[in-house]
Amino acid sequence: MSVAAAVIDVGWVNGLAAIRSLGRAGIRVLAVDHRPSALGFRSRYAERFLCPDPRAYETRFVAFVRALGEVVVFPTHDDSLNVLAQYLDDLPVLAPFPAWDLLEGVQSKRTQLEQAAQLGIDTPHTRYPSTADEARTAAEEIGLPVLVKPEHPVGFKHRFRRQAFRCDSLDDVATAFTNAEEFAPMVQQLVPGGDDTLYTVGSYLDRDGRALGIFCGRKLLQTPPGIGTCRVGEAVWVQEVVDDALRLLGGFGYHGLSQVEFKRDPRDGRYKLMEINARLWQWHGLATACGVDLPRIAYEDLTGATPADAKMNGHGKRWAITLLPGERPLPQRPPYVDAVFALDDAKPGLVHLARVARRALP
């Protein structure tokens, strides 16, 4: 019997895209989430498994995953990723990410920036203050506006429902630092430019560090604009960005799935590191549509198969969340991939449409 794939955290389009990618390849897919309303539970390509919340019930969550047996795990959010990595040596799973002794450094936003600087990869000017007064001084030195963002983002995102605080005054900086103090906040230069200057390199590296699949693209629109998640993305190959991403991952000795994000600074034309995510990212479905099916590549490599050569095609192809509650519809010019609606897997789209419609009612 072939090894099943367990996609963990399937509440939104990241998990749904992984389910569809693996299911369309004929792989048995277990959709795992602690929320009964998870969108991925509606997919025809997956079996539903309701699990304990990994943040609230870590030990029970680990026991649940252990009971699944030998599966390839695909956590789509850092909550479950970090827990699984810490217990990886005690679990019978196959994982497209390293154990915690390596992953811990990759998950630190400060360590990411320091590693990039050692390799000569451009980064935004960043300071690591210990007090609110030091944060004010750092902002004065860097120049306003700045971002106050956490070294450890998981708890920060749950607390504040955002990725960073934009600060336009020194008082804003001091307040943001004080509010986020437990998450080791950094003060970072706000690189100018719109959402369409954010570039992503998604890849899968085997245990020898060889890239078996590489995708490159950029965001066109985020929700909310400026500091948000991708609403519309576009496939575009930028060799400089790809080279820097692979060099950075190699510097960590990383293997597995990842997204490395850069922002093009219009003042000097250079690409500056924003972050590494050691997992599939929200719009990885576009990579699959462009011939780089990262979940399938990872699954085949981890189960001993030889993945077929994957070369990115579809330059200019777009991905979009066409409908979002409270937002205007954003249909794109063909060819584009909708994040939710699919002819061969209609139920998630219908459920999502009903949710959007309910929110629109007075």
Q: Which pLDDT tens digit goes with each residue over 109-159? A: 999 999 999 999 999 999 999 999 999 999 999 999 999 999 999 999 999
| Segment 43-87, tens digit of pLDDT | 999 999 999 999 999 999 999 999 999 999 999 999 999 999 999
Residues above pLDDT 90, as percent of the chain = 95
Encoded tokens for 323: 């409908």
Please report, for residues 29, 189, 201, 265, 297, the alpha-carbon distance to residue 274 in angstroms, rounded to integers and kept in the order given.
32, 11, 12, 11, 26
Residues 234 and 311 reside in one and the same domain: yes
What does the alpha-carbon distance between residue 223 and residue 298 come to, in Å, rounded to a whole number?
Answer: 29
Encoded tokens for 328: 């205007």
> Which domain-ending residue is among 82, 97, 112?
97
Q: In this structure, are residues 204 and 301 in contact, taking their beta carbons and an 8 Å threshold?
A: yes
Nearest residue to 8 via CA among 69, 53, 56: 53
Q: In this structure, are residues 260 and 245 in contact, taking their beta carbons and an 8 Å threshold?
A: yes
Nearest residue to 294 via CA among 21, 25, 43, 52: 21
Check pLDDT > 70 for residue 324.
yes
Coil, strand or helix: which one is 149?
strand
What does the alpha-carbon distance between residue 213 and residue 295 come to, in Å, rounded to a whole number?
Answer: 10
Residues 149 and 288 reside in one and the same domain: no
Packed helices 170-179 and 132-142: angle between N→C axes, nearest 10 degrees: 140
| Segment 221-233, tens digit of pLDDT | 999 888 889 999 9
H helix and E strand count, the chain: 12, 15
- Tell me the residue range of the domain where 82 lies: 4-97
Residues 221 and 305 reside in one and the same domain: yes
Give the total number of structural domains in the chain: 3
Return the H-helix or E-strand segment holding 30. strand 29-33
pLDDT, position 1: 54
Residues 228 and 334 reside in one and the same domain: yes
pLDDT, position 288: 98
**CA-based radius of gyration for the chain:** 20
pTM of this structure: 0.96
Residues 203 and 169 reside in one and the same domain: no
Residues 230 and 249 reside in one and the same domain: yes
Coil, strand or helix: which one is 213?
strand
Residues 259 and 353 reside in one and the same domain: yes
What does the alpha-carbon distance between residue 86 and residue 75 come to, in Å, rounded to a whole number?
Answer: 13
Within a domain: 102: no
Residues 212 and 180 reside in one and the same domain: no
Residues 207 and 350 reside in one and the same domain: yes
CATH number, domain containing residue 143: 3.30.1490.20
Residues 134 and 245 reside in one and the same domain: no
Residues 72 and 52 reside in one and the same domain: yes
Within a domain: 83: yes
Residues 302 and 172 reside in one and the same domain: no
Within a domain: 116: no
